[in-house]
Amino acid sequence: MTETTAPALTRTPGGPQRATLLELFFDLVFVAALALTSIDLARKLSWAGVVEGLLPLLAVWWVWQITTLVTDYYDPERWPIQAILGGTMLGSILLAATLPAAFGPHGLFFAIVYVTIHLGRGLPLVTFQRGGPQIRAARFMIWFGVSTPAWILGALSPHPTTRGALWALALALEYLIGALRYPVPRLGRVPLSQYETAGRHLGERYQQFMILTLGDLIVVPALKFGQTGFSGLRTAALLAAFAATALLWQIYVFRIGLRFETVIDQNPGRVERWAPYTQVLTVAGVVALGTGFELVIGQPGGTTPAAWAVVLFAGPALFLVGRITFEYQMFRRYSRSRVAWAVVLIPMAVVACAVPPLLATVLVAINLLGVAVTDAIRGRRGSGRLSGDP
């Protein structure tokens, strides 16, 4: 189907692509959601607890991602888009508040809020737009309508296993359809040209979000430190957690600025189509590491339980895998040194089970320091360009 343009709410070619302050304000809601997830996971650390924390987290991430696509295609300076963003922000606050009980008594509330955000965000765009923008919004609404029954039926189930299965099915459908560009009979897929509307804006949005995501590693340890009281071991654990957080910032933010610019200049649509699936790994890594910091600061001495070692070292592993995958998707190259440091995390996790949690956290920081140092060496050799050299 031929799509005409209706520029009333869409971005104008050549217009400003900077992220707005309202969008940055919107992101703060998700920082709270990530912190709540880390804290809740620390309280019920088990395989079931991981699933019950992971599925709502993936849902929250998808809310942020789809909302970012809206502000990337539509002009966030227009008041109707700002109103949509405000409504989504309110719904996201409610989602964040119910995250710890999404598999408990507030499951139905969580599911209703989630589907209302997606359907309510698309309704005014379908109603008041014409041509291409209307068809684009209709594609999104149709597929979120398809996934809605699984969300509601899962929430109505009294069995956590059934709820988890139905919610996982709904999320798998939403993530898959997003990768396929929301194909609809007679309407087709989202045109590739619509993924190249404001690539620089999207790159800036991801960088902003990741900076705020790392705030999870500041907020969670600080709250736990204040609740448990001051001691030498806890202070050392807090310092180790801060060092690891600063190194993650170095690995992700400091090194990614020029890369985003390069990718966007060469193929702006590639970021928009693939970043959601790589960046969710880095977000999950931060949440896992925040869970580990919460546990370690609460009990820095003794022997590290195996479950604690898993979240402590799975966090940076997921973070590095996300970054490696992003680099490969964007440049068709990857950093061998980062792969090596990610692999080294496995024997480090084994060693961590024989040492106190404080020393396990120090091992995490040492690994990330190794990544940062080899990145710096590789950067000097390649004049700041991404290199596939070891």
| 296-to-22, 38, 146, 254 alpha-carbon distances in Å | 35, 13, 42, 27
Q: Is the predicted pLDDT of residue 386 greater than 60, yes or no?
A: no
Domain residue extents for the chain: 21-196, 199-381
CA atoms of 289 and 295, how far apart (whole Å): 10
Average pLDDT, the chain: 86
H/E element, 322: helix 306-331
| 128-to-63, 78, 149, 329, 357 alpha-carbon distances in Å | 22, 14, 26, 36, 56
Burial 228-264 (b: 16+ CB within 10 A, else e): eeeeeebebbbebbbbbbbbbbbbbeebbeebbeebb
Q: Is the predicted pLDDT of residue 317 greater than 90, yes or no?
A: yes
> Coil, strand or helix: which one is 68?
helix
DSSP for 174-219 reads: HHHHHHTT--BTTTBPPPGGGGGSSHHHHHHHHHHHHHHHHTHHHH
Strand partners, 10: 74
**To 10 degrees, the CA torsion angle through 25, 26, 32, 38?**
-120
Predicted local distance difference test score (pLDDT) of residue 256: 60
Contact in structure between 374 and 348 (CB atoms under 8 Å): no
User: What tokens were used for 350?
Assistant: 């084994």
User: What tokens were used for 187?
Assistant: 């309407």
Contact in structure between 118 and 182 (CB atoms under 8 Å): no
pLDDT digits (tens, 9 = 90+) for 269-310: 666 677 788 889 999 999 999 999 999 999 999 999 999 999
The amino acid present at 374, given as its one-letter code, is T
Predicted local distance difference test score (pLDDT) of residue 1: 44
Q: Is the predicted pLDDT of residue 196 greater than 80, yes or no?
A: no
Burial 363-388 (b: 16+ CB within 10 A, else e): bbbebbbbbbebbeebbeeeeeebbe
Lowest model confidence (mean pLDDT) among 263-267, 343-347, 386-390: 386-390
Predicted local distance difference test score (pLDDT) of residue 390: 38
Q: Is the predicted pLDDT of residue 357 greater than 90, yes or no?
A: yes
> For the structural domain made of 199-381, what CATH number should be given?
1.20.1410
CA atoms of 285 and 281, how far apart (whole Å): 6
Q: How far, in whole angstroms, is CA 69 from its chain's centroid?
A: 14
CA atoms of 130 and 81, how far apart (whole Å): 15
DSSP for 327-365 reads: HHHHHS---HHHHHHHHHHHHHHHHHTTS-HHHHHHHHH
Predicted confidence band of residue 340 (pLDDT cuts 50, 70, 90)? very high
Average pLDDT over residues 338-349: 95
Predicted local distance difference test score (pLDDT) of residue 263: 60
Q: Is the predicted pLDDT of residue 238 greater than 90, yes or no?
A: yes
Average pLDDT over residues 94-119: 93
Predicted local distance difference test score (pLDDT) of residue 70: 86
- Residue 252 makes CB contacts below 8 A (sequence gap 6+) with 210, 214, 282, 319, 323
Average pLDDT over residues 129-151: 90
